[in-house]
């Protein structure tokens, strides 16, 4: 049997298929990993409240959320890196002038600064197939710690924000939506908080992902696995490429690296 390892899984396009369903083979694989004594964790751009059901189903209490800004180890928050409030206020003003909505997000909820029926908001958030949706509160960003926000603008229009607001990183995840993150934040940095606490060596760390926000994670983790449905730029940085998510990609990848 392999030595005890820690395995980080992205959610969308990795654990969940394109219908946002968890393949039975992936679920069984996760429980087999745990039976073998491995630590299983999630590393996602989602907010904690967006994958509570999945955590319960897989009995996982260790996760990196908000692309590394809010990290929980065995049920305990061990790292939080909020957005800079003053810079977010300035970005909000600029976005309103350009008619680009924002959804503010903390660890418990999300609120839109315009009526959430806005086309850009409904079309992008609906693709996540969540049980929750943002309500309207233009002042939600004031007086609370936010770990990520969503900027809604057509492709290319985020360049203005990238050039103007250096306190943030912007990662596009939908034709109408961009993640706003603290500058320099990433899944890789969030993962480090967990691996340092648990004492896993580089060789004991594994990660599976498929999207642009997984590139730093897959570059940082020695045993990195890109899904077969991943972007080519993601596959290029991974050590291994498994089958697509809807072709038992998780199970195949775990067998490929020798964990199952």
Q: Give me the active site residues, please.
A: 10
Paired strand residues for 180: 149, 170
CB distance 208 to 10 below 8 Å: yes
CB distance 9 to 15 below 8 Å: yes
Look at residues 212, 233, 199, 149 and name the one whose alpha carbon lies nearest to residue 3. Answer: 199
At residue 138's C-alpha, the angle toward residues 136 and 141, to 5°, is: 115
Neighbours of 111 (CB within 10 A): 20
Distance CA 192, CA 39 (A): 14
């Amino acid at each position: 049997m392999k030595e005890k390892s820690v395995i980080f899984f992205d959610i969308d396009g990795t654990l969940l298929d394109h219908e946002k369903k968890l393949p039975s083979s992936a679920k069984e694989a996760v429980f087999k990993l745990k039976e073998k004594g491995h630590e299983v964790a999630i590393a996602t751009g989602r907010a904690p409240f967006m994958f509570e059901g999945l955590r319960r189903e897989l009995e996982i209490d260790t996760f990196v959320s908000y692309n590394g800004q809010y990290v929980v180890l065995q049920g305990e928050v061990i790292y939080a890196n909020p957005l800079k409030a003053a810079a977010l206020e300035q970005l909000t003003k600029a976005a309103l002038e350009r008619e680009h909505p924002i959804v503010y997000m903390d660890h418990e909820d999300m609120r839109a600064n315009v009526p959430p029926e806005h086309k850009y908001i409904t079309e992008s958030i609906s693709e996540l197939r969540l049980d929750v949706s943002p309500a309207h509160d233009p002042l939600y960003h004031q007086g609370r710690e936010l770990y990520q926000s969503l900027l809604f603008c057509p492709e290319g229009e985020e360049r203005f924000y990238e050039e103007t607001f250096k306190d943030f990183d912007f990662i596009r995840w939908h034709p109408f939506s961009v993640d706003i993150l603290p500058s320099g934040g990433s899944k890789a940095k969030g993962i480090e908080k967990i691996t340092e606490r648990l004492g896993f060596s580089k060789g004991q760390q594994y990660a599976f992902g498929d999207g642009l926000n997984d590139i730093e994670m897959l570059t940082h983790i020695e045993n990195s696995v890109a899904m077969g449905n991943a972007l080519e730029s993601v596959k290029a940085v991974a050590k291994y490429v498994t089958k697509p998510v809807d072709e038992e990609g998780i199970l195949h990848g775990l067998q490929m690296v020798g964990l199952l």
